[in-house]
């Protein structure tokens, strides 16, 4: 039987979200029985949802996006690139 600490680690690290079969069932069974871990899991979910909402509720204006798009295309055509850290390749 896995303890609360281990269950919480699996939830917070997304191990639970990606688990299948028996592994997933073990966590679900624990959550069904344990009020505290259930509360913890709900909090993490609510936190994630609030975070997504926070970033989506105030999107940049269409005019701003158009301005950036124009700037990118113009600068790119002019061949002027900002100096930057080496972005590497797509390993």
Q: Read out DSSP for 17-75? A: HH--HHHHHHHHHHHHH-HHHHHHHHHHHHHHHHHHHHHHSSPPPHHHHHHHHHHHHHH
Q: Restricting to residues 18-37, name those near other proteins by CB under 8 A.
A: 18, 35-37
Does residue number 63 form part of the binding site for other proteins (CB under 8 A)? no
Does residue number 4 form part of the binding site for other proteins (CB under 8 A)? yes
Kindly list the residues in this chain that would bind other proteins in the complex (CB under 8 A).
Answer: 3-6, 8-9, 12-15, 18, 35-37, 39-40, 42-44, 46-57, 59-60, 64-65, 68-69, 71-73, 75-76, 81-82, 84-85, 87-91
């Amino acid at each position: 039987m896995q303890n609360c600490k281990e269950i919480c680690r699996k939830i917070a690290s997304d191990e639970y979200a990606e688990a299948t079969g028996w592994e997933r069932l073990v966590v679900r069974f624990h959550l069904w029985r344990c009020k505290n871990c259930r509360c913890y899991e709900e909090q993490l979910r609510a936190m994630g949802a609030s975070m997504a909402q926070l970033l989506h509720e105030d999107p940049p204006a269409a005019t701003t996006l158009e301005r950036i798009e124009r700037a990118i295309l113009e600068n790119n055509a002019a061949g002027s690139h900002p100096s930057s850290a080496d972005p590497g390749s797509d390993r």
